Structure 1
Amino acid sequence: MLVGLSVRNLAVVEDLALNFEPGMTSLTGETGAGKSMLVDALSLVLGDRADSNMIRHGAERAEIEADFNLNNNVSLAKWLKDHELDEEEQCHLRRTISRDGRSKGYINGRMVPLALLREVSERSIDIHGQHAHQSLIRPQTQREILDIVADNKALLDKLKLAYRDWSSSQQALQQLKSQSDEQRAKQELLQYQVGELANFQLSESHIQQLLQEQNQLANAAELISTAEAGLHRIFDEEQAAAYDIINHTLSELEKLQHVEPRFASAVETLNAAIINLDETADELRQYLDHIDLDPERLNSIENELSQLHDIARKHQVEVEELPELYQELTAELDRLSSSEVHLAELETQLAEKEKVCRTLSEEIHQKRIKTAKPLAKQISASIKQLAIPSGEIDIEVIANPDQKFSEYGMDSVRILVRTNPGQPSGELAKVASGGELARISLAIQVVTAGKRTVPTLIFDEVDVGIGGSVAEVVGKHLRALAATQQVICITHLPQVAAQAHHQLQVSKKHLKDSTHIVVDKLDKQQRIEEIARMLGGVNLTTKTRSHAEEMLDQAQR
């Protein structure tokens, strides 16, 4: 629950510190005293949007702090621990607003994004503003009311995640389908290109072999002539054969080797030359024995190379680059083929995700149906006590056409009202007057507040336009809520203020150059005076004070 609120330099508040207790607390004071400013401050420290114009004149920064006790707030305690913001069973919030427009938020001394302050708000407090009834005519608000009582939050959280997952998959599928026509045309082209290239043996080694063989066959005559001439010069030339010349020289040197030992090295070299010439001659003879002047083979190779050159020109690459091109086109074709498989898989996944969404939506629908009538009956009973004696509430839960679902399920929820006997039920905006709508809203807030898990409820002048015995009923309702939740109520009604366990009086102090807000905790006698003022205005009488004391005593029984 909320245990403390301090405000510095916010609007007319210079420095204010408040402590709150369990039960029901009423904040009272003259109109314009600044009671709602405290709610505004609390909203700011819980992450609401801020404006530098809210800073007190003459100050550079406004600062709001709030302390929450975690004893009975398991949800917030767990959230703090999950975000590593927990510290000794407390939740201390701090918000600063600077004149330059900057705003900072802190949880237990650690700076955090304002979004995290709002998440604390969801787990700690509900604020019902004086114009809350205006939002009641919105279908979204009516649906939220039913879901609170139906305890659909966990299911709706699951549905929201499932719906976003489904929606993301649906968008991906639509995008893939929109590309399918273009991809199909590209795939057909690739299939043709890959099929065309597949008719050839497109390996680097094969193409290199073709080019080399074509070059050899095209130059076969010159190769044979050169090989024969070389063999002739080595062995067959009558007077100048290389073998004969070297062999003759070798013989002469060998004869004189015993005279000149230094000829030994030359003899060794010439012997090696003779051996090399023998080997070279053998290689040339083998080459000449096996070389084949095959015009048909040359023609076949040149035809194949011609086709390869044609297809290489078609793809604007060199013949040697065809193997790499073939691999690239094949890989691209495989990728496009796999996208078709992915399309089918995505369609299957989308159907499964849709089934999850529909299952969750159906569970939510059933809980709404089960809750609608009992809740309508409770609200009807409550508005009868709030001066709408013939009021009847119906809650209509209708499945959307074609079972279309969203992150909120597949229902339309409407709260219908009948305020006079014999009239049909109709929409709140069309049937209920402004005052009736305010009372219906208050009845709904009172009936549903006990279903909320947050420990603190704040009612900011939600009882405007209500008086007399109805106001007393409202006060009793709020006091009854305080048995399980902390209730803080800003009110102008003495009947409501008297029902509170504690009362704070808000007033303005006008000094020479400035105005200050002061909040005083009232004892019993002071409460009697304040409630008497609310009953009778400025000129208080003994009778008014006596009435105020009687109201207070009756409420406290």
Structure 2
Amino acid sequence: MLRALEIRDMLIIERLDLAFQPGLNVLTGETGAGKSILLDSLGFVLGWRGRAELVRSGAAQGEVTAVFELAEGHAAHAVLDEAGLPGGSELILRRVNTRDGRKTGWVNDRRVSGEVLRRLSETLVELHGQHDDRGLLDPRGHRALLDAYAGVEAESAAVRTAWTGMARARKALRTAEEALEAVRAEEDFLRHAVAELDKLAPQPGEEAELDARRRAMQGAEKIRSDIAQASAALGYEGAEGAMAGALRWLEGAADKAEGRLDAPLAALSRAMAELDEAAQGVADCLDALDFDPLELEETEERLFALRGLARKHQVLADDLPGLAAELSERLEALDAGEARLDALQVELRAAEADYDAAAEALGAARRAAAERLDAAVAAELAPLKMERAVFRTVFDEAPAGPEGRDAVSFTVATNPGAPSGPLNKIASGGELSRFLLALKVCLSQERDAGVTMIFDEIDRGVGGATADAVGRRLKALAEEGQVLVVTHSPQVAALGAHHWRVAKRVEGEQTRSDVVALAETEREGEIARMLAGDTVTDEARAAARALLAAV
């Protein structure tokens, strides 16, 4: 609810402080007194796009502050949270317009963009008038208005869920088709590569193992001949045989050497033992170095095959097993692709059927609600002296989407047999005002709580009993909230719970606009002026008292 509006140096307003109340607030005054400036100023602080030049002549800048009261759960809290702004039960909007055209806005003393102000305004204020393209006259919002009236939250949620499922199924099918097409393009390569890799069957770490074995065999080949010669030199044909012969000769002569050969014999025996150990070690080495030349050839062939295949696929040899698995999976995907596509197509058809059923249920609920709304608006039009007019909610086929397949628009025919069309194309100014009011009365129970409704001269072109009917419907709208009405109708003004008079004055060469809250005793004079014009007669005052007494 709008609690206060403070305006500084905007157009012909120098300083203005207004404190609005719940219920029906009416603003009256002569044409050109500045009533529209109040709405321009409020629209400015709410971030709406309006006049380019707003700063009062001679002032450096203009400023507007609006204070709103927010109930718990008000939609504005979600906007504040999303924007990272402080909340609370009071919301203060302030916006400044400098002489050079720069505009700066604040929300609860935090600087914000005009877009944040506009998003907040959508939760705070509804403006309705003959040229209102933000509210009931905008066909883009008619479906949402009908949905709110119909109470189809469950049906709408089912459609959104089905739409999401259908989109997910379409994406899965498209992804599978693209993957299958990509695999088909390389089918020959895959089959050849998989066969080649399967034939070689590379193992993790195999390259290093083969390289080590190859190096060992190549090294053995180089040194084995030298070791074999050494083995022969140590054997019976070499050192071992010579030492054995020397030992026999000395043993045969030892008995006659009177002990002189005992030490040499002992030393020779020890040497024979060491020689035997050395010969055995050399023989063991030869055994270890023994290899089959065919094995070396086979090892080299496999090592070269691994490395060649790795170069071919531009990977490391150790990555060949992983590559083989990957290519095999792609080949399996190709082989199983058609079956997978068939399954995904079945899933998509099921998702489309779910969406069709949910959209059909939502459309049926909307059409049933549209019949109720059409009847309700017709009932409201009769007291407004438009009983011959016809209001219809029209449905057209719209592209399928998360909100269903219904395009909804409100149309009117002002006379029986006349063609129907959009509200703002068919109805005259006064008729349009009454259509909008009737529609708003029917939709009022579904509007967001805490929204201030503003009607800008919506009673233009009507008078008498019709104006009284307009006023009483505005008063009914205000019973559970706040309504601001800019009006020239005394019947409407008399029904207001709070009354402000907008007046223009000239000081020197400067024009100023003031807004004064009227006490009950002052309202009679203002309503009499509205009835009689510049010269207020006793008859006009009597008529004003009668209007006020009939509230």
Task: Give me the TM-score of the superposition, normalised by structure 1.
Answer: 0.76
In structure 1, distance between residues paired with 2:279 and 2:350: 81
Pairing 1:474–2:473 present = no
Query: What is the Cα deviation at residue 285 of structure 1?
Result: 0.9
Supply the AA of the counterpart residue of 2:6.
Answer: S
The answer as to whether partners of 1:380 and 1:393 remain within 8 angstroms in 2 is: yes
Query: What is the Cα deviation at residue 504 of structure 1?
Result: 0.7
The match for 1:495 is: 491
The answer as to whether partners of 1:124 and 1:454 remain within 8 angstroms in 2 is: no
Specify whether residues 279 and 18 from structure 1 end up closer, same or farther in structure 2 by C-alpha distance, changes over 3 A only.
farther
Q: CA RMSD in A?
A: 4.4
One of 436, 439, 452 as aligned partner of 1:441: 436
The match for 1:427 is: 421
Supply the AA of the counterpart residue of 1:489.
Answer: V
After superposition, the C-alpha distances for 1:255-280 in whole angstroms (9 at most, x for unaligned) are: xxxxxxxxxxxxxxxx99x96x8666
The answer as to whether partners of 2:70 and 2:88 remain within 8 angstroms in 1 is: no
Query: What is the Cα deviation at residue 532 of structure 1?
Result: 2.8
The match for 1:544 is: 540
The match for 2:516 is: 520
How do 1:88-127 residues align onto structure 2 when only pairs under 5 Å count? 89-98=89-98, 99=100, 101-107=102-108, 109-111=109-111, 114-127=114-127
The answer as to whether partners of 2:410 and 2:423 remain within 8 angstroms in 1 is: no
In structure 2, distance between residues paired with 1:37 and 1:227: 114
One of 448, 451, 456 as aligned partner of 2:446: 451
Pairing 1:372–2:373 present = no
In structure 2, distance between residues paired with 1:221 and 1:482: 108
In structure 2, distance between residues paired with 1:6 and 1:156: 41
In structure 1, distance between residues paired with 2:46 and 2:160: 24
The match for 1:327 is: 322
After superposition, the C-alpha distances for 1:329-375 in whole angstroms (9 at most, x for unaligned) are: 64576589789799999889877876776566455334323322221
Pairing 1:196–2:199 present = no
The match for 2:404 is: 409
In structure 1, distance between residues paired with 2:277 and 2:358: 90
Specify whether residues 156 and 18 from structure 1 end up closer, same or farther in structure 2 by C-alpha distance, changes over 3 A only.
farther
After superposition, the C-alpha distances for 1:150-178 in whole angstroms (9 at most, x for unaligned) are: 13468657866875786577567646644
Query: What is the Cα deviation at residue 23 of structure 1?
Result: 1.9
In structure 1, distance between residues paired with 2:302 and 2:76: 80
The answer as to whether partners of 1:50 and 1:97 remain within 8 angstroms in 2 is: no
Query: What is the Cα deviation at residue 146 of structure 1?
Result: 1.9
Determine helix, strand or coil for the equivalent of 1:477: helix
Query: What is the Cα deviation at residue 202 of structure 1?
Result: 2.3
In structure 1, distance between residues paired with 2:129 and 2:333: 57
In structure 1, distance between residues paired with 2:197 and 2:292: 28
Specify whether residues 40 and 212 from structure 1 end up closer, same or farther in structure 2 by C-alpha distance, changes over 3 A only.
same
In structure 1, distance between residues paired with 2:343 and 2:191: 23
Specify whether residues 50 and 200 from structure 1 end up closer, same or farther in structure 2 by C-alpha distance, changes over 3 A only.
farther
Determine helix, strand or coil for the equivalent of 1:484: coil
Supply the AA of the counterpart residue of 1:535.
Answer: L
Moved more, 328-337 or 362-371: 328-337
The answer as to whether partners of 2:190 and 2:331 remain within 8 angstroms in 1 is: no
The answer as to whether partners of 1:155 and 1:360 remain within 8 angstroms in 2 is: yes
In structure 2, distance between residues paired with 1:117 and 1:537: 40
The answer as to whether partners of 1:4 and 1:17 remain within 8 angstroms in 2 is: yes
In structure 1, distance between residues paired with 2:358 and 2:93: 36
How do 1:241-256 residues align onto structure 2 when only pairs under 5 Å count? none
Query: What is the Cα deviation at residue 322 of structure 1?
Result: 1.6
The answer as to whether partners of 1:105 and 1:114 remain within 8 angstroms in 2 is: no
In structure 1, distance between residues paired with 2:354 and 2:77: 28
In structure 2, distance between residues paired with 1:430 and 1:32: 25
The answer as to whether partners of 1:129 and 1:459 remain within 8 angstroms in 2 is: yes
Specify whether residues 219 and 478 from structure 1 end up closer, same or farther in structure 2 by C-alpha distance, changes over 3 A only.
closer
Specify whether residues 170 and 510 from structure 1 end up closer, same or farther in structure 2 by C-alpha distance, changes over 3 A only.
farther
The match for 2:46 is: 46
The match for 2:35 is: 35
Supply the AA of the counterpart residue of 1:518.
Answer: D
The answer as to whether partners of 2:499 and 2:517 remain within 8 angstroms in 1 is: yes
The answer as to whether partners of 2:456 and 2:487 remain within 8 angstroms in 1 is: yes
Specify whether residues 307 and 359 from structure 1 end up closer, same or farther in structure 2 by C-alpha distance, changes over 3 A only.
same
How do 1:146-157 residues align onto structure 2 when only pairs under 5 Å count? 146-152=146-152, 156=156
Query: What is the Cα deviation at residue 548 of structure 1?
Result: 2.9
Query: What is the Cα deviation at residue 137 of structure 1?
Result: 6.4
Specify whether residues 118 and 383 from structure 1 end up closer, same or farther in structure 2 by C-alpha distance, changes over 3 A only.
same
In structure 2, distance between residues paired with 1:80 and 1:311: 61
The answer as to whether partners of 1:77 and 1:89 remain within 8 angstroms in 2 is: no
Pairing 1:75–2:70 present = no
The answer as to whether partners of 1:130 and 1:463 remain within 8 angstroms in 2 is: no
The match for 2:529 is: 533
Determine helix, strand or coil for the equivalent of 1:497: helix
Determine helix, strand or coil for the equivalent of 1:62: strand
Specify whether residues 220 and 76 from structure 1 end up closer, same or farther in structure 2 by C-alpha distance, changes over 3 A only.
closer
How do 1:11-22 residues align onto structure 2 when only pairs under 5 Å count? 11-22=11-22
Query: What is the Cα deviation at residue 235 of structure 1?
Result: 6.1
Supply the AA of the counterpart residue of 1:481.
Answer: L
Determine helix, strand or coil for the equivalent of 2:446: coil
Determine helix, strand or coil for the equivalent of 1:64: strand
In structure 2, distance between residues paired with 1:350 and 1:62: 59
Query: What is the Cα deviation at residue 149 of structure 1?
Result: 1.7
Specify whether residues 516 and 175 from structure 1 end up closer, same or farther in structure 2 by C-alpha distance, changes over 3 A only.
farther
The answer as to whether partners of 2:91 and 2:107 remain within 8 angstroms in 1 is: no
Specify whether residues 185 and 534 from structure 1 end up closer, same or farther in structure 2 by C-alpha distance, changes over 3 A only.
same
In structure 2, distance between residues paired with 1:26 and 1:549: 17
The match for 1:284 is: 282
Query: What is the Cα deviation at residue 69 of structure 1?
Result: 3.0
One of 288, 298, 301 as aligned partner of 1:300: 298
Query: What is the Cα deviation at residue 106 of structure 1?
Result: 0.9
Query: What is the Cα deviation at residue 12 of structure 1?
Result: 2.9
The answer as to whether partners of 2:206 and 2:318 remain within 8 angstroms in 1 is: no
Supply the AA of the counterpart residue of 2:406.
Answer: D
Query: What is the Cα deviation at residue 129 of structure 1?
Result: 3.0
After superposition, the C-alpha distances for 1:115-166 in whole angstroms (9 at most, x for unaligned) are: 5544543443322133138976654343233223213468657866875786
Task: Give me the TM-score of the superposition, normalised by structure 2.
Answer: 0.77
Moved more, 383-392 or 168-177: 168-177
Structure 2 unmatched ranges of 5 or more:
245-269
Query: What is the Cα deviation at residue 376 of structure 1?
Result: 0.8
After superposition, the C-alpha distances for 1:526-545 in whole angstroms (9 at most, x for unaligned) are: 32332233233323333333
Supply the AA of the counterpart residue of 2:482.
Answer: Q
Supply the AA of the counterpart residue of 2:74.
Answer: S
The match for 2:130 is: 130
Specify whether residues 175 and 377 from structure 1 end up closer, same or farther in structure 2 by C-alpha distance, changes over 3 A only.
same
In structure 1, distance between residues paired with 2:3 and 2:175: 53
The answer as to whether partners of 1:368 and 1:397 remain within 8 angstroms in 2 is: no
Structure 1 unmatched ranges of 5 or more:
245-270
Moved more, 51-60 or 433-442: 51-60
